[in-house]
Every structure is written in C-alpha cells, then in structure tokens.
Structure 1
Amino acid sequence: MKHTSKPRRSKPKLTKYKGSGGAGRNERRALAKSTLEIIEAGHYTFEGIKYDLRSQFDAMLSGTHYYDPDSLSSWEQPVTPANELARDTPTEISIVEVSTLEGAGFLSSVPYASEKERRRRVGVLNFASAKKPGGGFQSGAQAQEESIARSSTLYPSLVSSTAEKFYRLHHKNPKGGYYSHAMILSPNVTVFRTDAGRLAAPMEIDVVTSAAVNAGVARRTLHGMVAGAAEEVRIAKAMKERMGRILYLFEEQGIKDLVLGSFGTGVFQNKVPVVAAIWAELLLDPDARFANSFDRVVFAILGRETFVEFKDIFEERQLTK
C-alpha cells in the first residue's frame, strides 16, 4: 500500500496486502486478561518507555455516547455547505487484506500534509455483538470486535453506564435478528497491542460500535425454514439504513479517515456482495451521499474468499462509472 501525504484527486485506488496471523484461544484469553490489567494499572511500558493511559482513558469514558435507534435518521439529507465545498476531492478508497488494526495503523502512519492534519482522527467501525460488550474476547474468541477489545482500552467504554443501554435494548428485543440502528461512540480509544498480542506504541482511534443485522437468524421462519427473496430485500434495506447512519455519525464527528470492512458477513451471515454493493452505493457512485465526505477509507478484510468477492464488487462499480 502506497503512503500518500494528501487525499488523492483521482479515482479511488484499490490495493491489497497480506494480513498477519493469529494466536491460539488460550493465548488470546491470557492476552485479554493482561489487557484488562494494563487498563486497570493505567500505564504500560514498551521498549523502555512508560506510556500513561489515564488522560486518554478519562477522555474516552467522558466522551462515550449512546445513540438511540431513532438517532441519525436524517442521514440521507443533502450534504452541508462545508462538505459541498469539498465536492472536487473524491475519497481515496483502499481495499486491503489486513485486519482492522492494521488498517488503522496505515491511516495513522500517513504523513501529515500540514500542522492542521496532526489533529486528524482515525474512525473505526466495530462489528459488534448486539448483546455482549466486546463479544467473546475474554474467553479467547477471535473476530474483529474481539481483536479490538483485546488490543485497546475500548472494553471499559462498552461496559459503561452510558453504553449499557445499547445491550439492554437488544437483550429486551432483538427483533428477530434485525436488532436496531442504535450505536455507541467511543472516542479517544488507545490501541496498545498488535493483532499478534505484542505491546506497541500507543495509537488513538475513535470507535463506532454497531451491530449488523443477524441475517442468519432473520432468514429463519417460525417453522425453521429459510425465508425467501422478500426477506433478502428486507435485510438489505435494513443494512443500508444502518450503514448510512454509521457514515453519517463519522461525518458529524468530523472524522475524515475511516476503517470499515465486510460488515456482518461472518457469523451474522450477511451476503458479501450485498454489503459491498451498499458501501459502494454510499461512497463510490457518482451521486453517492458520502462520495466526498471523507479523505481516506480503508476496507480492512481478512479471509481471502471474502476479500476477493468484496473487491470484485468495487471494481465492477468503477468500470460502470
């Protein structure tokens, strides 16, 4: 992946990069325990340097915000005048075969074009469990949310009294796997581990936590059969609405660099071409609502089959522009 010092003015660049491997379940469980201990201590040492986590940790907790299901519903409205001024600066889009943390690391390492850019923020979408903060990261589970929770200070934000509303809502009514458009914003999250579990210099990200539609559950009827085409249309419609609100929240927060991915296509069984096509509709098409809202978007995708299938959709959309 080529580093750039400023947003490109050409068509989005599609690239790929081989991601890193993972640890075993027992090792991941031990890493989660160690992460919670570091958070409790409020500091850690890496390469002889002691890093204090407390100021950013306090900022994260005080800034944690819950968005109820009716929030951000106006996302389809025309862009603001401020964004209108940037209509000639298309988003640089990269599709890479890396983890979310690797994608965030790339965006954090892009050289600054000016002193103003030193205040740039990297936004990360957390593919959340609707009912369990951090998913199964403490038991050694391995998925996108677990990796973020195991490597950063995110978990205390998700179990805060503010964020608890998100999980209580979905426990009370999961809506047949559709869950809701509710979200949690966790700013100033500090990442201090690599995907492999090694300590690293701190990296700050802003995390939006959202649960995709659990399409596997939504497809099951009362009689245990798989629902038909009408249900697939309903799933896609709900996913587009949720994904539009996610982008709107990042836009409202003034976050210009994003790490997204193949949202909900793992355990939740959303179809990769459908999710890729929705992201393309929202970000890539000439009349896309968010075509010029961001400077850089990295789609970080692990799993060769998913990566190729996702990338192919974007390449097809580019050819038809």
Structure 2
Amino acid sequence: MPPHFDLALHHRLQDIASSTLAALGRASIGVDGKKYDLRQALAELRSSTELEPADSPRLASWNDLQTDHSARSRNTTLLFSQTSTLRALRRHATATTAGPTGSIRVGVLNFANAEHPGGGFEHGAQAQEESLVRSSTLYASLTSDIGRPFYSSHSTEPSGLYTDAMIWSPGVLFFRADDGDWIEPVTANVVTSPAVNAYEVKGRLGSSLPVDTRIADKMRERMARILRLFELKETTHVVLGSFGTGAFGNDIATIARLWADLLGPGSRFERSFAVVDFAIIDQRTLGVFKQHFEERCSSANPA
C-alpha cells in the first residue's frame, strides 16, 4: 500500500462510483427531494456520442485553417484556477454572461485512460477522469457502442504514445460535487483523449532529448486536435488543465508551453473561444504551469 494512502477515502470513492452506476441503471437521481429523470438525456447522449478516429481528416487539418484574427472581435479570456475540473465546469455552465451568440457551450477535456472507460473510478482511484465519471452520465457515453472501439483500439497499442483518436460526448449531465454530494445537474460537452504516457515511453525507450522531443511533438498534435474539435463544436468556454502531468509523468513546463503555443498571442486558436480555464487543483502544479505559460506568451509577443 503506497504511503499516505487514505483507505477510508478510497472506500468512499468506491461507494460514490457504485451509487452513480446505480443511478445510471435506474435512469434517475434525487437531489434535495427532487427527482430528475435521466432517460431522455442518457438516450440522447448514447446516440449522439461520436468517435473521432486517429486519422480524422477534419482534425488532422487543424493547422491548414489559419484563423483570421482580424475577423474575430473577441479576445479569449485565459484563466488559471486552483480548483477541480468539476467546480470549473459548473461555474461556467451556470454563468449568466453569454457568449457572442447568446449561449454558453461548455467543453471539458477528460484526461483519459486509453484502455479502460473511466480509468479506475469503480475501484476508488482519484485522478481527474475518475472524478468526472463518478459525478456524471459520462460513463454511459464511454461505454456506448460508439465509444467502446476507442478502448479496443488502444489495447493493442503498447507504446504509451497512444493515438489521436478521441470521443465526443455531448450533453453530459454533471450531478455530483467533489465530495460526492448530489447536486442540481448542469450540462457540459466532453472530449475524451489520452495524454502520452511519458513514464511508459521513457521506460521503453530511455530518457533522452530525442525521446522528450518525440513526446512533445505527439502531445502538441493531440492538443491541437482537441482544440480543433472544441472549435468545430462551437464551444464558448473550455475547461482544460495540466494535461498528462500526473500519473503519466509529462513535464508541467512543457505542457504549459504547448498550450501557450496553441492559445497564446498570434496562435492558431488565439480567438477561437470566449474563455479557456486551466483548472489545476494542486497549488505547486498551478504555479509552475502558469509561470511557463505566461513566459512562453511573453517570448512570443515581446513588448
């Protein structure tokens, strides 16, 4: 058992996951004495789930569609929030200020386990994906007939690089807080995509500059495709984070610089969204991430 392992919390998270699965099975939840029928939402979610293959032409061409920044009046608001993904998405989903089109469309990046839907959420794991899946209807999308091939394709890809395939899950209902309490549902759209497992890649190929460069290049392409999918779906508010820097071992500074290259001044996605919120719960990670993101933006746009 690892140091600082909280057995009581582990069991509580298992119980939360179990009760969420039970709620999906009966297609209803109760919040403060009010019953919410999930049947229609679940049916629509399963039927509307989309699998973007690794060779998706519309995502692979992300850099061929140079943004005409002069034609877009809005500037993206970049936020760096010491908070969970759940809290961030709820804040934006309940915001009263709409985007230019008059409606807020929240998109969330799910840091996916490439081989198992929801990662280890049923077993009490605590990573970002697990928190999303045990708090929402997302699992119904990931395990749908459309979503499952995403996992079977990765089960035969042992390199740790994984592929650029991703799942689009529209209209996911989020109905639990970080502590597991049932709360009024809010809706967000979710992109499920795996980061490169840097630990696994380096364990196989060794640690060297060429390996680091290969990982960074792969991550840059994947992150760009994620943003392109959010853009195609007319997302206004995007909740991202320090993608893959936890259990997968990617370098925080590198991930921050890659996001800055894609979203910072003069970048391809500079004005694609109204708000981009980097929700990072760990204070140290947030500090390192924000520092390197801002430094990258400053070097790209010197005074």
TM-score by length of 2: 0.92
Is the counterpart of residue 254 in structure 1 residue 254 in structure 2? Answer: no
Deviation at 1:113, TM superposition (A): 4.1
* Cα-to-partner distance string for 1:129-174 (whole Å, 9 max, x where unaligned): 0100000000011000000000000011111111111111110123
What's the Cα RMSD here?
1.7
Deviation at 1:319, TM superposition (A): 3.8
Q: Which runs of 5+ in 2 are unaligned?
A: 1-7
Q: Which runs of 4+ in 1 moved over 2 A?
A: 78-81, 112-118, 317-321
What residue is the counterpart of 1:299 in the other structure?
278
* Cα-to-partner distance string for 1:58-92 (whole Å, 9 max, x where unaligned): 111111011111011001113467x7621x32100
What residue is the counterpart of 1:4 in the other structure?
none
Equivalences for residues 56-75 of structure 1 within 5 A = 56-71=41-56, 72-75=59-62
Deviation at 1:128, TM superposition (A): 0.2
CA distance, structure 2, for counterparts of residue 219 and residue 232 of structure 1: 8
CA distance, structure 2, for counterparts of residue 274 and residue 115 of structure 1: 32
CA distance, structure 2, for counterparts of residue 230 and residue 115 of structure 1: 43
Structure 1 pair 85/54, CA: closer, same or farther in 2 (3 Å)?
farther
Counterpart contact for 2:45–2:140, Cα < 8 Å: no
What residue is the counterpart of 1:96 in the other structure?
81
* Cα-to-partner distance string for 1:168-208 (whole Å, 9 max, x where unaligned): 1110123x110100000011100010011000000101000
What residue is the counterpart of 2:258 in the other structure?
278
Aligned length: 291
CA distance, structure 2, for counterparts of residue 113 and residue 146 of structure 1: 29
Counterpart contact for 1:98–1:302, Cα < 8 Å: yes
Counterpart contact for 2:170–2:190, Cα < 8 Å: yes
CA distance, structure 1, for counterparts of residue 295 and residue 157 of structure 2: 38
What residue is the counterpart of 1:141 in the other structure?
125
Which amino acid letter does the alignment assign opposite residue 85 of structure 1?
A: A
What residue is the counterpart of 2:110 in the other structure?
126
TM-score by length of 1: 0.87
Counterpart contact for 2:99–2:274, Cα < 8 Å: no
CA distance, structure 2, for counterparts of residue 262 and residue 193 of structure 1: 23
What residue is the counterpart of 2:5 in the other structure?
none
CA distance, structure 2, for counterparts of residue 73 and residue 280 of structure 1: 20
Which of 73, 85, 88 does residue 71 from structure 2 map onto? 85
Equivalences for residues 136-285 of structure 1 within 5 A = 136-174=120-158, 176-221=159-204, 226-284=206-264
Counterpart contact for 1:190–1:202, Cα < 8 Å: yes
SS in 1 for 2:64: coil
Which of 2, 16, 26 does residue 41 from structure 1 map onto? 26
SS in 1 for 2:35: strand
SS in 2 for 1:309: helix
Deviation at 1:51, TM superposition (A): 1.4
